[in-house]
């Protein structure tokens, strides 16, 4: 009688959320090192360095403003270029960080397979690495507003909660996608395809209030709509009621962070075995 071959159950020991939080705090130095490394490697051999982090969103915003104002004849604001740039600042950070963060665990196989540390550090390092360019872009938006005669008032303080919500939402997506990518390597391509479509159902180049029908429903359910509304209210103004979109963004953020915590608590100990 032939013996049945033993099976390997890659379940691992579950980690509590509190223990995961302590491990992340203990790995804060590694987090800072990886963040700096990602930032410096990205711009190390570029002649203009970090200026590319500023130039690319500005160039894209200028092209979009020109195309949609001249071809599509969109007039979302008296100064449409600033309107578009105020949308591009959070969107560029969100899309760039998710693209890199969703595959961070698998892309760092050499490090992940040699020493144990909370793998959540890897996608979170991408958030910090892209934060430099994001802050510079936001500063440029604030500088351009007076130049284009867009008045800044107390509403500009909304940039702080908008930025915090953006970071939290991006972290939720990155942590969730990076854990799933260890098991399903199609996640890399799904994220790339989703971001291409996602841009057009996000009110980056047009106001959400101009949409109707199914597009309006997609915008209302879009987690980025509330964040962009906060940014626009803080800068160019005139967005309109934004309580519902912001609440939907908060719900998405809490749901994703909860899902990400459960995934990393349950499976992070066996990530290295699957890389």
**Structure confidence at residue 75 (pLDDT):** 58
Place of tokens 């800068």: 235
Task: Report if residue 150 sits inside a domain.
Answer: yes
> Structure tokens of 194?
């989703």
Task: Report if residue 7 sits inside a domain.
Answer: no
Task: Report if residue 81 sits inside a domain.
Answer: yes
Q: How far apart are CA 163 and CA 156, in angstroms?
A: 12
168: nearest Cα among 108, 238, 256, 109: 256
Q: How far apart are CA 190 and CA 198, in angstroms?
A: 12
Task: Report if residue 243 sits inside a domain.
Answer: yes
Q: Give me the helices (H) in the chain, please.
A: 17-26, 28-43, 51-70, 80-101, 104-107, 109-112, 121-147, 159-183, 187-200, 213-221, 223-234, 243-267, 271-274
Task: Report if residue 3 sits inside a domain.
Answer: no
Q: Provide mean pLDDT across the span 80-102.
A: 89
Interior/surface letters 199-236, b for 16+ CB within 10 angstroms, e for the rest:
eebbbbbbbbeebeeeeeeebeebbbbbbbbbbbbbbb
Chain centre distance of CA 54: 17
**Structure confidence at residue 9 (pLDDT):** 42
> Structure tokens of 131?
């934060």
Is there a contact between 200 and 207 (Cβ–Cβ < 8 Å)? no
Report the domain count for the chain: 1
Task: Report if residue 5 sits inside a domain.
Answer: no
Task: Report if residue 136 sits inside a domain.
Answer: yes
Instruction: Dump pLDDT digits (tens) for 193-208.
Output: 999 999 988 888 887 7
pTM: 0.85
* Long-range contacts at 22-30 (CB < 8 A, ≥ 24 apart): 23/117, 23/118, 24/118, 24/120, 24/121, 24/124, 27/117, 27/118, 27/121, 30/117, 30/121
50: nearest Cα among 135, 171, 114: 135
Q: How far apart are CA 81 and CA 63, in angstroms?
A: 9
Q: Provide mean pLDDT across the span 249-260.
A: 96
Q: How far apart are CA 110 and CA 130, in angstroms?
A: 22
Task: Report if residue 45 sits inside a domain.
Answer: yes
**Rounded (5°) CA angle 207-208-213:** 130
**Structure confidence at residue 49 (pLDDT):** 59
Instruction: Dump pLDDT digits (tens) for 163-175.
Output: 999 999 999 999 9
**Rounded (5°) CA angle 84-88-90:** 135
Per-residue pLDDT at 139 exceeds 90: no
**Rounded (5°) CA angle 132-126-20:** 125
Domain that holds residue 63: 17-274
């Amino acid at each position: 009688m032939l013996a049945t071959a033993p099976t390997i159950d890659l379940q691992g020991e579950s980690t509590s959320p509190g223990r995961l939080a302590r491990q992340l705090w203990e790995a804060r130095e590694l987090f800072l090192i990886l963040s700096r490394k990602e930032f410096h490697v990205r711009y190390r051999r570029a002649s203009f360095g970090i200026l590319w982090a500023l130039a690319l969103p500005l160039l894209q915003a200028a092209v979009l403003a020109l195309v949609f104002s001249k071809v599509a004849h969109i007039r979302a604001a008296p100064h449409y270029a600033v309107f578009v740039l105020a949308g591009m600042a959070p969107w560029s950070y969100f899309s760039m960080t998710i693209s890199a963060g969703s595959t961070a665990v698998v892309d760092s196989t050499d490090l992940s397979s040699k020493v144990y540390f909370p793998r959540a550090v890897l996608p979170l390092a991408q958030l910090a690495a892209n934060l430099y360019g994001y802050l510079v872009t936001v500063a440029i938006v604030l500088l351009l507003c007076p130049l284009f005669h867009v008045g800044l008032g107390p509403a500009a303080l909304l940039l702080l909660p908008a930025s915090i919500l953006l970071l939290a939402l991006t972290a939720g997506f990155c942590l969730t996608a990076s854990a799933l990518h260890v098991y399903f390597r199609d996640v890399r391509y799904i994220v790339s395809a989703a971001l291409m479509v996602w841009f057009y159902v996000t009110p980056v180049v047009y106001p959400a209030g101009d949409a109707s029908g199914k597009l309006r429903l997609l915008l209302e359910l879009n987690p980025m709509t509330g964040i962009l509304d906060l940014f626009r209210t803080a800068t160019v103004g005139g967005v309109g009621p934004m309580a519902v979109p912001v609440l939907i963004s908060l719900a998405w953020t809490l749901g994703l962070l909860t899902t990400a915590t459960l995934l990393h608590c349950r499976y992070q100990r066996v990530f290295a075995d699957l890389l």
